[in-house]
Structure 1
Amino acid sequence: MDPSATAERTGSLEPLVVQTAQLFSQAVTERTRLGYARRRRLFDAWCDAHDPPSLPSQPETVMLDLADKIGESGAALGTLRGWMAIVNRVHLEAGLIPPGKDPAMTTFLRGLSRAHPPSQRHEPMAALRMDDPRYVLRDVDTDPTTSRRARDRAI
């Protein structure tokens, strides 16, 4: 094949490559990116303190880190899943297999959800009905001297 034809074809993809890169970078907001970076630094620091490499990391390393986070801060299950997600994301972007894809990690996360259930949900509050404020306001409008009584009824 003619090298100039190859260069010509490759050059024509350059604008498309730039556009694709821009679209890819817009998939994650700057705030999310900062959160990822913070969590990544904390995971790297944990790995440095305990010797296993953070990239590529083994599923067992991530399991130990998550178990440590439960012990030190009592992290919520959703928070722990967020930690797992950032480790997976870093691996994906580096072209590596994410540790979260390992079947052992799936089993570990299932165990986490059983041993560390989500917090109790509160009963939902009843919505304020429009009739109640209308009743109070109508009473206040008709006789301004009864505002205290109207207030007391509203409470």
Structure 2
Amino acid sequence: MRRLRDKAASDNTRAAHTADWEKFVRWCEGCGNTPLPAAPELLGWYLTEKSGELRPDGRWAYAPATMARWVATINKVHSLAGLPAPGRNETVRDLLRGIRRTRATPTARRTPLLTEDVRAIVGTMRTAATGLADRISERRDSALLLMGLAGALRRSELCGLAISDVTAHRADGLYVTIRRSKTDRDAHGRVVTLPYGRDPQTCPVCAYRRWREVLDVWDEGGRAAAAALLADTTDDLGDHHCRGLSLKTADPDRSLFRPVHRTGSIGSGVLAGQSVHSMIQRRARQAGFSPELVATLGGHSLRAGFVTQAVRNGATTQTIMTQTGHADERMVAIYSRHHAGLVGNAVTELGL
């Protein structure tokens, strides 16, 4: 029963709840109070004290959403112990409302990477790739960027892909199965189609083939086999090499995107989401993007880029949601307002 109940939440959620509760326990012990049970007044003082803490740069130490999560965690622990949840008291609720109103700030959103942005980043990577390690990481990163953009994929979805989740289709390109996602905790799954690209430089199917070639020979023959594959310095990217794609594998459950060490060695584990975030910023910096812009990029920039580019190119909300898996049209409208504000906007008809 305990094992099954643990699966009700993700590992990250459980870790966050544990950290939240331990933080509250330490605070209670420091001021001589009992954390379980905790009176609503005690929880109120806890939130009031934490809401006034600042970071070294003068910003608030904790966001209202973080403190609301603390309250939810404390309520959960009390409920599991058969005790009244202090956070459901109206006094605590009013306190959280007051914190939200005094801290009202715009949501920080990642800057989208549009098609031309990704084209520039991929082009720079391929030009600068000289040694074995550079060539291997370039193939992985090109596949990550182009498949992430074309599929409107979250970084967690990219990192969670296995070889068996990607199926080549002769007419359409690639069928990618997303087994679990942020909004699909019950793992119903969905299939995303990545089409053949017009330009071989940015074709997601070509990028996938180039990475799979390296991955397969590495798993079969190690560094020597990969070096032999990449020994040809004339990696022809002027033509498509993705039609009739049929890559077989003896281990379909291995991860598609894996860590690449600075020596060029390909790891056997799963690529971390933070590694995708860091890679995007590093590659954008190498492509000449300004430091200010690089700081606003991250793993979500590919998904945001898909929606923004699609809106700019005249795609309808419904066709966008077919690829992104959004269930609410308002989420698509957010990208449109922030990054494609003139599309479908009557202000363009004023004749100014």
When normalised by structure 2's length, the TM-score is: 0.30
Which protein is richer in strand relative to its size?
2
The alpha-carbon deviation at position 30 of structure 1 amounts to 3.7
1:46 & 1:123 partners in 2: Cα distance?
34
1:5-154 alignment, distance < 5 Å: 21-73=2-54, 74-122=61-109, 125=112, 127-128=114-115, 141=238
Unaligned runs of 5+ in 1: 1-19, 142-154
Closer, same or farther: CA 29–122 of 1 in aligned 2, 3 Å: closer
Mean Cα deviation higher: 65-74 or 21-30 = 21-30
Q: Secondary structure at the match of 1:117?
A: coil
Larger RCO (alpha carbons 8 Å, 6+ apart): 2
1:118 & 1:43 partners in 2: Cα distance?
26
1:124 & 1:34 partners in 2: Cα distance?
28
Q: Which amino acid aligns with 1:112?
A: I
1:46 & 1:99 partners in 2: Cα distance?
16
1:46 & 1:24 partners in 2: Cα distance?
28
The alpha-carbon deviation at position 58 of structure 1 amounts to 1.1
Closer, same or farther: CA 26–117 of 1 in aligned 2, 3 Å: same
Q: Which amino acid aligns with 2:10?
A: T
2:106 & 2:96 partners in 1: Cα distance?
17
- In the comparison of the two structures, how many residue pairs are matched? 121
Q: Deviations over 1:27-58 (max 9, x none)?
A: 12344323322221211110111122211111
Computing the radius of gyration over CA atoms, which structure comes out larger, 1 or 2? Answer: 1
2:63 & 2:5 partners in 1: Cα distance?
30
1:25 & 1:122 partners in 2: Cα distance?
31
Q: Which amino acid aligns with 2:79?
A: L
Which protein is richer in helix relative to its size?
1
Q: Which amino acid aligns with 2:48?
A: A
Query: What residue in structure 2 maps to residue 149 of structure 1?
Result: none
Percent identity, please: 27
Unaligned runs of 5+ in 2: 55-60, 121-197, 202-236, 239-288, 290-352
